[in-house]
Amino acid sequence: MCRNGQCINTPGSFFCICDHGFSLSSDRTSCEDTNECARDGMCANGHCINMDGTYHCECNPGFISSTNPQICVDIDECRENGRVCQNGHCVNTQGSYHCSCSPGYQLSPDGAFCLDDNECQKTGMCTNGMCVNMDGSYKCVCDTGFALSPDGSVCIDVNECASSSSTCVNGECINNQGSYRCKCMDGMVLGKDGKTCMDTRRGYCYSKIEHGRCGNPSRHITTKSECCCSGASSTSLPGSSTCEVTTGGGRAQTVTSSSMVGWGSPCQECPHAGSADYEHLCPNGPGTDHNGNDINECSVNPNICPNGDCENIQGSYRCICATGYKLDTSGKCCVDVDDCRENPLLCDNGQCKEHYR
């Protein structure tokens, strides 16, 4: 009597008090199992399994039994496992979680953590350089002549012509992709360092150019600056190339002092004073070559002082006139001395006649 319960005798009868999890049978003589799983709301987030006199909640994945045996509660994987979602941020969800990866990482196949994303495998990375993959990032190692762009993703050309004043000394700098080249002015050659134009070529100096052809070459070969920066150059000292002298018969005649106007082979006209080319070739002014050395005009142009001798001085020259001649107002020409005019007492009681040399 009263199986799964307690039998209580009464006068002429009895009744059953059922154990927990059991309920009175229809004939009230025994206790039958109560199916708790048939009730609504049993084992939320899980599966209810009825047992004799009781039940059991089998929780779904991502859930765990709570203090209330009728409910399965969410497992916070992000809090329970500190190693989950390495290299990223763990976001808990109902019954699960997902990883939000940090920049430079991608989700692993099982979704449990974040793997390094090899940016170097992408096309167009580190143009004009080499891509080096790093954990969660990358870096570009640029080729020579290139520098990292502001965003660090590519290498861009370095304009050497704009970045350094020492590039292409004495020449014109022309920028190229990843490099540059020096263009030297006519008459100069590029040095072994590839960035310095040097005044080392030597050629004849010419005192005349007619119809595009040079004439009257110098006796010795010189550099272009020794020729064209000379104090004897008509292009550097306007008016110094001609002298007005008096010749036999008393006639005034303009005599050239063979000033230098051209140089080299093929002959090139010397740049005119005040021009950009002149300033470039003769940075130290007339009488001094490109490197700052004094030019010996007397050697460059032996015919520089008609009717006199040439004496070289620092940065210029001077003419020492022969007997019977004197310097004119330019200081560069020897002109005949008019003895009759200079000395009225000559030929006293007679007529003085100048003897022209």
Q: Tell me how far apart the 2 most distant CA atoms of the chain are, in Å.
A: 200
Nearest of 272, 196, 195 to residue 234 by alpha carbon: 272
- Greater model confidence, 226 or 355: 226
Same-domain check for residues 224 and 288: yes
Same-domain check for residues 112 and 123: no
**What is the pLDDT at residue 328?**
86
Structure tokens at 78: 């992000």
**What is the pLDDT at residue 46?**
93
Nearest of 285, 338, 335 to residue 305 by alpha carbon: 335
Answer yes or no: is 357 within a domain.
Answer: no
**pLDDT level of residue 243 (50, 70, 90 thresholds):** low
Between 120-124, 157-161, 241-245, 299-303, the lowest mean confidence (pLDDT) is in 241-245
Same-domain check for residues 270 and 182: no
**Domain-ending residue, one of 45, 73, 101:** 73
- Greater model confidence, 316 or 149: 149
Degrees (nearest 5) of the Cα angle 308, 314, 320? 15
Same-domain check for residues 67 and 92: no
Answer yes or no: is 197 within a domain.
Answer: no
Same-domain check for residues 279 and 336: yes
pLDDT, tens digit, 9 for 90 and up, residues 55-92: 999 999 999 998 888 899 999 999 888 888 999 999 99
For residue 252, what is the domain's CATH number? 3.90.290.10
Structure tokens at 203: 């050629």
Share of the chain above pLDDT 70, in %: 89
Same-domain check for residues 267 and 334: yes
Any bridge partners for residue 60, and if so which?
none
Answer yes or no: is 306 within a domain.
Answer: yes
Same-domain check for residues 214 and 182: no
Task: Inform me whether the pLDDT recorded for 13 exceeds 70.
Answer: yes
Answer yes or no: is 195 within a domain.
Answer: no
Task: Inform me whether the pLDDT recorded for 154 exceeds 90.
Answer: yes
Same-domain check for residues 237 and 287: yes
The total number of structural domains in the chain stands at 5
Answer yes or no: is 236 within a domain.
Answer: yes
**Domain-ending residue, one of 58, 73, 88:** 73
pLDDT, tens digit, 9 for 90 and up, residues 110-152: 999 999 999 999 888 999 999 999 999 999 999 999 999 999 9
Any bridge partners for residue 101, and if so which?
88
For residue 215, what are the contacts with CB-CB under 8 A and spacing of at least 6?
206, 207, 208, 209
Same-domain check for residues 86 and 51: no
Q: How far is CA 295 from the centre of its chain?
A: 40
pLDDT, tens digit, 9 for 90 and up, residues 171-225: 899 999 999 999 988 888 898 888 888 888 899 999 888 888 888 888 889 999 9
The range of the structural domain enclosing residue 106 comes to 77-116
Answer yes or no: is 58 within a domain.
Answer: yes
Same-domain check for residues 179 and 143: no
Same-domain check for residues 143 and 273: no
Same-domain check for residues 14 and 56: yes
For residue 96, what is the domain's CATH number? 2.10.25.10
**Domain-ending residue, one of 94, 116, 138:** 116
The torsion angles phi and psi of 61, rounded to 5 degrees, stand at -55, 135
Q: pTM for this structure?
A: 0.50
Do the beta carbons of residue 279 and residue 229 sit within 8 Å? no
Answer yes or no: is 186 within a domain.
Answer: yes
